[in-house]
Structure 1
Amino acid sequence: MKKDLRFVYGVLSVLIFELVTCSASGQGLIKKNINDADYKLWSTMETKNISENGQWYTYSLSYEQGADTLFVKSTQKNKNYAFSGTLAGTFLKEKWFCSRNDQNELSLLHLPSGKIEITKNADNYSFTSDEKYLIIFLRTDKQKKIIIKPLDGSASYEIENVKGYAYNQKSNQLIYSKSVSYGCSVSILTIKEKFSESKIIESDNFNYTSFVWQQNAGSAVFSRSRTDVNTDSSAEVKELVYYKTDTQKMFVFQPDTTFDFDKKYVIKSETVSDMMISEDGKSVFFKIKGRNPKSEKAAKKIVQVWNADDKYLEPAEKEKDGSVKMPKTVVWWPEKNNFRILTDTVFSKLMLDTNRKFAITWNPVANEPQSNLHAARDYKTINLGTGQEQYFLKDFNYEVDKIALSPAGKYVTYFKNNHWWIYNIEKNIHTNLTAALQESFSVEDLDRGDGPLPYGNPGWTPDDQSILLYDRFDIWEISIENLKALKLTHGRSEKTIYRIRPVSNEQKLKGNFDGVTNAVINVNKSIIFQSKAENVNGLWWYKKNSSILPIILSKNKISDPVMALNTETVIYKEESFETPPRLILQEKKEKKAQTLYQSNSHFKHFNSGTSSVIHYRNRNGNSIKAALFYPANYNHEKLYPMIVHVYEKQSETVHDYINPSLYSGNGFNVSHYTNNGYFVLLPDIVYEFGNPGNSAVDCVVAATKKALEIVPVNPKRIGLIGHSFGGYEVDYIITQTNIFSAAVAGAAITDLISGYLYVSWNFNRPNFFQYESGQLRMDGSIFKNFLSYLANSPVYYADRVTTPLLSWAGEADRHVHYYQTIEFYLALRRLGKKNVMLLYPDQQHVLTDKEQQKHLTEYVMRWFDNYLSAKSNPEFIKVN
């Protein structure tokens, strides 16, 4: 099997290191300090998958300076396999495993024997539903090809010169097109012991691509374009073909001749996800887009006109007025020879119910322009059979987790006025689900102005029988028939938060055109709950009408559970700041857990730090937490420097294992500092509306003083660092206190007045929403709270700064303009303060270039070393 040499060398270096250090372990293990050169030994582990009976599992290791690798291992025997350059794969029962690497090499592993077959140039693959074949789609510079490989080792079936294809799991059929001597043909291949192939089209006038099956294989739809037109996936598709498999009848959607189709549009078919067939096979959904005539030269734009009445900012043309240019969704009834455009320039967004009887559309721009991220929206249903339209929700304050379709398509779920509601689409009835319950289903301690926000709606039980909802602590099941509410957990009395942990695709939210459809969660089968209390994290088995049973309860971080389909077997990760993640297997019938794999096992040969949660109070008496990380090889008789990293709430990271690294998008890595002899403090911050700067000063200073009471930190050697909103907090804090001896602020907001009157280009929106109700929490516009904006802007207090500041930004930052960093730099320069500014060309809000990440990380460390440690070297500032 082909290996990536970088990965092999990386593994060898770890093995050699462990052999050398283990030779000393017989005389007592002598640990060494981690230096920068050792960081390459560390990898990041991700749990991937488990076979349906729990006998095999996969995980991946990603290296900063090596190839990502996928491992397949047995849970029962000492068998394991590695696939370099691979991050995912598929099990077929306990017998086969298939994966494809970044070089398009497909590996088929026979699990019992360990035999691996390699196929090059594999673009995609699928096991057949009868579990007897592997379908491989090959792509080379010269041609595309399908190989149907029998898993019993017999000869493969090959199809040459393929243009497009789709496989239907239910019928075990393959529909495909290929080039032939007379043009292009379309065939359906039934994959059984004896393959049966039927040709349905052959033509020298058309190419056929973009195949989509009806779910039950009763029909298929695909696109066609004339042979003299480029048929790459990016080309404009001219016509659609609908084929019924039972009657073998064919229907063609010909926009230019069959229908009175608007000449401004063409059929869009960049991906097959743009097309869909209803469950009953009677309707086809696809998208159209505006024509782009090659013959017409784009007129030179001599000016931009920014009108305050415009729905969107003028440069955001793709969104302007609901966008004439945005693709629109069309429904076509082939057998009725009819179609309807479902979305327009006003009601431009859409969801479809599961049965494709109704469309839900909404107008995202009716209430524009306004100051929030999203305007309030009007929603209506369209009966696809009759065309009747019905408004059912007006002026709804949209957030993605506030509205969704139920999985069976019977209801729209939405959160309004602090309650969960459902709307029965067919009956046109709204029902408040939580009105009779005492508990609050909106976030109780929300400290931002963009609420109210719900705790969540994780999904529905099968066939929309009941809905699952969260309050602050518990999980509820509410029957739709009688609104009977059942609390599945007792978290409120235990002060424990319970949540459902999705372990399958069915249990996850799904995209639905421009909206989402809720997950299906069958509480009559074993599902996984995750819990969080003050000092205990847990996973639990849950099945309705049975006792809730713990899988694991630990002070450590527990994450990423995956569960076998056919057995009550779960694999999860456990980690702490002191110990890297390990994979653990737990079977419900077994009491004892089994450690499957310890990542970064070489960690035990190095000195490491520890972590703890400390508690402090702000000026209002609020009890607040902070995560405190101790230096490696800590000596309580020694005075240490400390770095305080600020953002919002970070104490929950206290048990995260953090790989030491020089490659960080914001120049900061906790382990890098603890390895270099620093304490690191991450305080939570509680905010007052209209006063974010002073809130940060209050909490951060209080947390820092509390840390000084607990651990031996030199009060004259404390540094402060933050990025983005944290960078804003750093700049403001150093204008109000001198307890920090050095500071670093990245991509910071420094002038709330100029920042408010600028654009967040990531959203193509004015910054109003970020400042009024978002992170800045200013609780109103600059015109309502001008003095508060002024009082919370660091730049206007630059004369008070005594702390040496390193500031940095990316010149291509579209979230916080780098002019904000320049404003503060120029203010400090004019006042003769100590400030160095780093501007990174072509980098945005977070640095993505590896070389620039390393430069920033090393420069920040030298900055702090210069002011906080014995490694003072002012000359480094002059070094690029």
Structure 2
Amino acid sequence: MKIIDKILQIIILILMFIAQQLPAQVDLQKLEEATEHSEEIRFLSTSRNGSWKVWQSSYETKPPQLKIADSHHPETLFTQEGVGAWKQVGDKGLLMKQGEDLKYRILGTNKETVHHHVKEFGYQESQNFFWILHNKKLSKALKIYNHDSKLINIISDVERIFALKNELILLIKKNENNELYCYNGRNLKLIWSGTAELYRIYESGLVTKGYTLILQETKGLTTYYVNENAHLTALSLDEGEYFDDVSQYPSADVKAVYLRLSHKKEKEIEKSMVDIWYGKDFDLEQHFHEKPFHRYVLWYPLENRIVSADRKRFGKMTAVGKSGLFLTKEIDSTLVDPHDKKGKDYPERFFIYNPEINSHLFVDEISQGIHISPSGKWLLYRKDSRWNVYNTLTNQRKEIDLPEYSTPYYCSSDKVLWVRGNEIWLQNLRNFAKSKQGTFTGTIEILNAEKQTSELGYSIIYPTVGLKHELLLKIKEDYSVRSSVVSWKNGRSLYLILNTDDRITEVSYNQISKSYTWIRENYNKAPEIIIKKPNEQARTLYASQQPASTKMITMKRLHYKGPNNEDLSAILYFPPNFKEDKKYPVVLSIYEMQSQNANKYLPPTFKNSRGFNERFFLESGYIILLPDISPGDKEPGYSALHCVNNALDQLATIQQADMKRVGLVGQSFGGYQTNFIATQSDRFAAYISGASISDVINTSFAFNYNHFSADYWRYEDGQFRFGDFVTHKQRYIDNNPLYYAHQVNAPMLLWTGTADKNVNPEQTRTMYNVLRKHKKTVIALFYQDELHALTRNSSRKDLSIKMLEWFGYFLKDHQDVPWINKQIKKHSDRVAFRTSEKFSY
């Protein structure tokens, strides 16, 4: 027995030694525990007097929590479970909806009331009351309360509520009749009654006030103007009074309502047999579904008059302040498709439209956006690397002596505050006199400026700042994430944050408490809510929970040259418990420029729409490299190869980086570049490419079902920057992964969603087919009914784990992965069988 026991002990010791030598697999339990110790702060808000902060804490698997903190006593923290919606009321009120129940709590007291069978609720800030609409179990009663929870009014049989800026619009059903009332906190006033259903309601914006009613009738939507005396005026046009949709936009004329009237255009197709596509077709989306036809009109209800611009020459327009004028652009008749020239800024012909005399005055050819003054008197825009100003009253243009990188903000009817790099200037547009207001040690960004966009798109904006109150400035150090935050007023600066490497977001100022709030985070520091008062140190109100390993992650920047000899950098993260005397496998993740995110928190989560989670790889013992990739004259494939090679050269100077165990991952455009690099490089041990393009020649003229157009505009002027195919055909050929796929010399994992409409899943299948033909090690994952980025948490978790297993297999020798072994073993067996068959006699 002693001999047997001795043998068993030896066997156990041998097995233990072998187990120690075997590489560990993906530690799923460890990663799942890390996700459960992570928290995201969302929807941070402040009470009117600045005393109370409310936010939602979101977690990986458990339900989100509503958290309430007293700014004066941070140790006092309330947590509320199961809150689906909430709203702060005045200085200390809080509404919280849980299912059909609504709680109203007066913060700082023990007073709380619960309301049952609640359908909707809201807070009318201008009158300082809150309202609760009950469902039919309580007779659809609308109850109005003041901020102390005292009942002010009860109105029964309320079907719907439309909350406007200064009043509530109530829809009450009485028998077969619908009645519309205006309630201002005191009085209830009938403004319309009828059998039609209310579709939409707007404040008219007219000098005579009143409302625009959109009613749903049997034949379609009808539009009415109702004045304060409940007098109705119907909209009627030559083509009829019924529409499929009606929307109201801001009007520059206080006597006119600006409307978009829409008719559904029936898809002209012989459903039984064939859909005919003509070469002269402009918008190909019409071949797939009914697309509405829009008409834009100015309606003068008091004059019973309609004004419509030339629809063949001009499209929609946007209000130029309250000047009575509108900005519009000429339709480019040279375009073959609505997306032509969409990939870059190109000159468009803009006009000022005067509806009073139905005239269009040419402004200029403009390609880089227009900044409209609130009064409508001034237009600012860039052209030929200079700023220009256009006076809509005199129709005169003038060049401004300021560089194109300057940013304007209107601060009065004729004055503009310019941010010029690290300087602030104030300019009077009447005489163009300007004076410097301040100089800082980095590039300035105004955090609390307002930038309202227009109906013409995001490039047409109304940027304003108010100089009577503090401006919050972020001063960013060039070529770095380091920044300061300054409160600036009348030329005086108060530094709230000085030279921090932390990421600062959601900066706000409360006028009543004279206090500031922001969220602070870094790659190794979970988000924290910070509060500060003048002449006091900033303090942490709340720190979100994080895994214990967070603070052990370290980071370094690598510097190298881009394809145009420009300075680029890469973020290099080191795992927790990093040891100087150890070699680590490395994973590169690529997608254009990433260095600006060096101070962004790295949360551990399986909810990764592209599968790759930097934190999981760090927790699993990898070094992570995120290099910048800039476009160059060599086009996207070779530019990416150039940047990645230069980043790898710098990585090679890091002794702990195992240059024989380096993997590359990319998705979408980064996936295309991964595909190309895989065909040209011998520096990687494995690749992962997701939702990616493998054949740029095929896809450049293939149909994109996301945009409903041919994709050539993205290749000519978009991300790819190839230029026209006929002129630059060689660029497409040289940068096409498919043509060089036979040169891939490391295993590739491909993935896509089968419902991806942005990049056809067949592009992934094409890459798989060519690699399979050339007997390369390849596996393709087709996530059923998923899109360009994964949407289901089950798919996201599966891909996250498979990425860890893939790189673990080829970079860390984790051999016990069945789904990978199935490919490797079959491939090896097939090669062995064919070899034996070849040499058998």
- TM-score range for the pair, normalised by the shorter chain length: 0.7 to 0.9
Deviation per CA, 1:780-834: give whole Å up to 9, x if none: 2121111221111111111211111111112222222222222222111111111
Q: Greater Rg, structure 1 or structure 2? A: 2
Distance 1:174 1:852, change over 3 A: closer
The structure-2 alpha-carbon separation of the partners of 1:550 and 1:156, relative to structure 1 and needing over 3 Å to count, comes to closer
* Contact preservation (8 Å) 1:658, 1:671: yes
1:598 aligned partner: 543
Question: Which amino acid is the alignment partner of residue 311 of structure 1?
Answer: F
Deviation at 1:837, TM superposition (A): 1.1
1:36 partner amino acid: E
Distance 2:101 2:426 in 1: 46
Aligned partners of 2:206 and 2:255 also within 8 Å: no
1:180: Cα distance to partner? Answer: 1.9
Q: Secondary structure at the match of 1:864?
A: helix
Q: Which residue of 2 aligns with 1:452?
A: none
8 A contact 1:690–1:777 mirrored in 2:
no
What is the match of residue 80 of structure 1? Answer: 77
Does residue 262 (structure 1) correspond to residue 239 (structure 2)? The answer is yes
Residue 411 of structure 1 is aligned with which of 378, 392, 397?
378
Confirm whether residue 221 of structure 1 aligns to residue 215 of structure 2: no
Q: Match of 1:290, as an amino acid?
A: H
Q: Distance in 1 between matches of 2:747 and 2:756?
A: 24
Q: Hey, what's the Cα distance between the residues in 2 that align with 1:304 and 1:854? A: 41
1-structure distance, mates of 2:377, 2:135: 42
Q: Where do residues 725-744 of structure 1 align in structure 2 (5 Å cutoff)?
A: 725-744=669-688
Contact 1:239/1:267 (<8 A) preserved: no
Query: Distance between the aligned counterparts of 1:673 and 1:634, measured in 2?
Result: 13
Instruction: Say yes or no: does 1:756 pair with 2:700.
Output: yes
Task: Decide which of 40, 43, 48 is 1:44's aligned counterpart.
Answer: 40
Q: Show the 5 A alignment for 1:328-727.
A: 328-342=295-309, 344=311, 346-355=313-322, 357-369=324-336, 371-373=340-342, 376-384=347-355, 386-393=356-363, 395-397=365-367, 402-433=369-400, 436-437=401-402, 439-441=403-405, 456-457=407-408, 459-462=409-412, 464-491=413-440, 494=441, 496-502=442-448, 507-512=450-455, 516-533=460-477, 534=480, 536-547=482-493, 549-587=495-533, 589-600=534-545, 602-604=546-548, 608-617=552-561, 622-727=566-671
Equivalent-residue separation in structure 2 for 1:412 and 1:107 (angstroms): 49
How big is each residue's C-alpha offset from its partner over 1:456-505, in whole Å with a ceiling of 9 and x where there is no partner? 54x3213x3323444555554432222234445535xx4x2211112xxx
For 2:568 and 2:262, locate their aligned partners in 1 and report how far apart those are by CA, in whole Å.
53
| Aligned-residue offset at 1:253 | 0.7
**Identity of counterpart residues, as a percentage?**
22
TM-score by length of 2: 0.86
Q: Which residue of 1 aligns with 2:49?
A: 53
Equivalent residue, structure 2, for 1:160: 156
| 1:286/1:318 CA distance change after superposition, 3 Å | farther
Gap change, CA 1:641 and 1:331, over 3 Å in 2:
same
Q: Distance in 1 between matches of 2:251 and 2:590?
A: 51
Which residue does 2:18 correspond to in 1?
none
- Which SS does the other structure have where 1:802 is aligned? coil
User: Which of 793, 798, 801 is equivalent to 2:744?
Assistant: 801
For 1:263, what is the secondary structure of its paired residue? coil
Distance (Å, rounded) in 1 between the aligned partners of 2:505 and 2:162: 36
- Name the residue aligned to 2:25: none
Is this contact kept in 2: 1:750–1:794, CA < 8 A? yes
Q: Distance in 2 between matches of 1:254 and 1:136?
A: 34
**What are the ranges of 5 or more consecutive residues in structure 1 without an aligned counterpart?**
1-31, 442-454
Q: CA–CA distance in 1 between the matches of 2:274 and 2:424?
A: 56
Q: In structure 2, the residue corresponding to 1:580 is in which secondary structure? A: strand
Going by fraction, where is strand more abundant, 1 or 2?
Answer: 2
CA 1:115/1:330 → structure 2, altered by over 3 Å: closer, same or farther? farther
- State the 1:735 CA deviation: 1.5
Task: Map 1:5-24 to 2 at 5 A.
Answer: none
2:58 touches 2:65 (CA, 8 Å); kept in 1? Answer: yes
* DSSP-derived class of the 1:655 partner: coil
Letter in 1 for 2:119: A
The CA deviation at 1:292 is: 7.5
Aligned-residue offset at 1:159:
1.8
Q: Which moved more, 1:667-676 or 1:37-46?
A: 37-46
1:70-94 per-residue CA deviation (whole Å, 9 max, x = no partner) reads 3221110244333445587544442
Q: Which residue of 1 aligns with 2:827?
A: none
Q: Residues 488 and 118 of structure 1: is their aligned pair in 2 closer, same or farther, counting only changes over 3 Å?
A: farther
The range that moved more, 729-738 or 340-349, is: 340-349
Aligned partner of residue 136 in structure 1, secondary structure: strand
Kept after mapping to 1: 8 A contact 2:269/2:276: no
- Could you say which residue in structure 2 is the equivalent of 1:871? 814
Checking the alignment, whether the CA contact within 8 Å between 1:613 and 1:625 is kept in structure 2 is yes
- 1:334 alignment partner AA: P
Deviation at 1:146, TM superposition (A): 2.5
Q: What SS does the aligned partner of 1:852 have? A: helix
- Partner residue, 1:96: 93
2:531 is aligned with what amino acid? Answer: L
C-alpha change, 1:361 and 1:755, in structure 2 (3 Å) is same
The answer for the alignment partner of 1:327 in structure 2 is: 294
SS at match of 2:742: helix
Residues 404, 342 of structure 1: CA spacing in aligned structure 2 closer, same or farther, 3 A cutoff? farther
Does 1:288 find its partner at 2:261? yes
Distance in 1 (CA, whole Å) between partners of 2:165 and 2:765 is 58
The TM-score, its normalising length taken from structure 1, stands at 0.82
The number of aligned residues is 787
Q: Which amino acid aligns with 2:359?
A: E
2:202 and 2:213 in contact (8 A); partners too = no
**CA RMSD of superposed structures (Å):** 3.3
User: How big is each residue's C-alpha offset from its partner over 1:537-590, in whole Å with a ceiling of 9 and x where there is no partner?
Assistant: 221111132235343431222222122143432111222222111111122x22
Query: Does 2:231 align with 1:250?
Result: yes
Query: How far does residue 154 in structure 1 lie from its aligned partner after superposition?
Result: 3.6
The answer to whether the 8 A contact 1:573-1:584 is kept is: yes
TM-fit CA distance, 1:181: 4.0
Matched residue type, 2:492: S
Gap change, CA 1:425 and 1:114, over 3 Å in 2: farther
- Aligned with residue 300 of structure 1, among 271, 274, 292: 271
In 1, the alpha carbon distance for the partners of 2:303 and 2:564 equals 70
Question: How far apart are 1:169 and its partner, in Å?
Answer: 4.9
Partner of 2:200: 210
What is the CA deviation profile of residues 375-412 of structure 1, one whole-angstrom value per residue up to 9, with x for unaligned ones? 7533333323x142223245543x6xx12432233333
Task: Tell me the distance in 2 between the aligned counterparts of 1:586 and 1:100.
Answer: 31
| C-alpha distance 733-276 of structure 1, shift in aligned 2 (>3 A) | closer
SS state of the match for residue 97, structure 1? Answer: strand
3-state secondary structure, aligned to 1:112: coil
Contact 1:318–1:326 (CA under 8 A) maintained in structure 2: no
- What per-residue deviation string (whole Å, max 9, x for no partner) do you get for residues 146-200 of structure 1? 3212334443422222345545555xx54433222472333444534xxx44445
